Amino acid sequence: MTRAKTINTPISSPGAQPGQSPASQPLGLVALRRQVALLEKLPAADLGSHRGPRVLDWGLAAIDRHLPGGGLAWGALHEFAGDGPDLEEASLPAAAVARLIGRRLRLSPANRNEGGSVLWVARRRDLYARALPAAGFDPRHLLHLNVRRNTDALWAIEEALRCQHPGAAGLIAVVGEIGALDLTQSRRLQLAAEKSGVPTLLIRRDSRGGEMRRLVQQPSAAMTRWRIAAAPSTGMAAPPHPILPGPLRWRLDLWRCRGGRPATWLIEEQADGWREAAFSQPVPAPLGDRLPAPPAASADGLRPKRATG
């Protein structure tokens, strides 16, 4: 009779310090962290790390605090779309994606110095590379792949993710300009992004107008889904000149977030990113003119009489 071989995995001791590296931690603790990370679909490169998953953060506390993990999850699928006519041009979604990646490049000297690349898959040749430095995106990191059909773009994105190994230097992110996308295709991309640990940012754009509005509302496996639109800017007084337009304003609608809630923000462009802007809503005249509030009613429902001297 063959005797079964038993492997006992030690359980982590209470004395394990949070600052220990995964190699110096008890095997039981590392295995447990790996299981939890796999259940939460965290990037494989961050398994066993106490710092949590890497994220693409917006640099705005109100948005990053609202998102699970403090930003856009690293090895996951995220979807961006414009509104109205911008569903075809996708200028604002492309600008937002470029700024998110540019911010990551500025905050990550390793990627900036070691030559990590961003694969941008598109069906049109209208990506203006000279505008990327204004978003902090160094064009030297750009790999632009032009394809003819939507199916070719989906295939190229998935194959690029499958060629990337977790933790290996190579792709910083994959960006794809996509039209039609069904639930099965989005699941394949989400699984490939999870396995590779590379953030995958889809920009939804197409020239089919009303049909595109229907397509972007169909179910998707993306972890977050965003709608980005232009918002009216506030004027700036510049005497003796008339009032000039203020900073560009965008409206960000997070209308789907796995593990989170939908929300809307109004943001303004700055030289190094964004800042949160206040919604300009009309208020009642007494509030706007700072008029004194009317006297409160007494217990019997009658207002107190004014004292006379």
Confidence (pTM): 0.71
Domain ranges of the chain: 56-232+245-276
User: Poorest-confidence range of 18-22, 115-119, 180-184?
Assistant: 18-22
Mean pLDDT, the chain, as a whole number? Answer: 76
Tell me: the pLDDT tens digits for 141-169?
Answer: 999 999 999 999 999 999 999 886 554 45
Of the ranges 157-166, 209-218, 234-243, the best mean pLDDT one: 157-166
Write down the pLDDT at residue 63. Answer: 94
Residue 4 pLDDT > 70: no
Question: Domain 56-232+245-276 falls in which CATH fold?
Answer: Rossmann fold (3.40.50)
Least confident of 112-126, 149-163, 175-189, 243-257: 112-126
Residue 100 confidence (pLDDT): 92
For residues 80-86, give the mean pLDDT: 87
Hey, what amino acid is at 34?
Answer: R
pLDDT tens, position by position, 14-40: 344 444 544 555 666 666 766 665 555
Task: Please tell me the predicted confidence (pLDDT) of residue 3.
Answer: 47
Give the CA angle between residues 206, 210, 216 to the nearest 5°. Answer: 60
The confidence score (pLDDT) of residue 236 equals 65
Question: Worst-scoring range by mean pLDDT, 30-34, 190-194, 198-202?
Answer: 30-34
Provide the pLDDT for residue 31: 67
Question: What's the confidence (pLDDT) of residue 209?
Answer: 60
Residue 79 or residue 277, greater confidence:
79
Q: Which pLDDT value is given to residue 304?
A: 47
Which range is least confidently modeled, 91-100, 132-141, 178-187, 291-300? Answer: 291-300
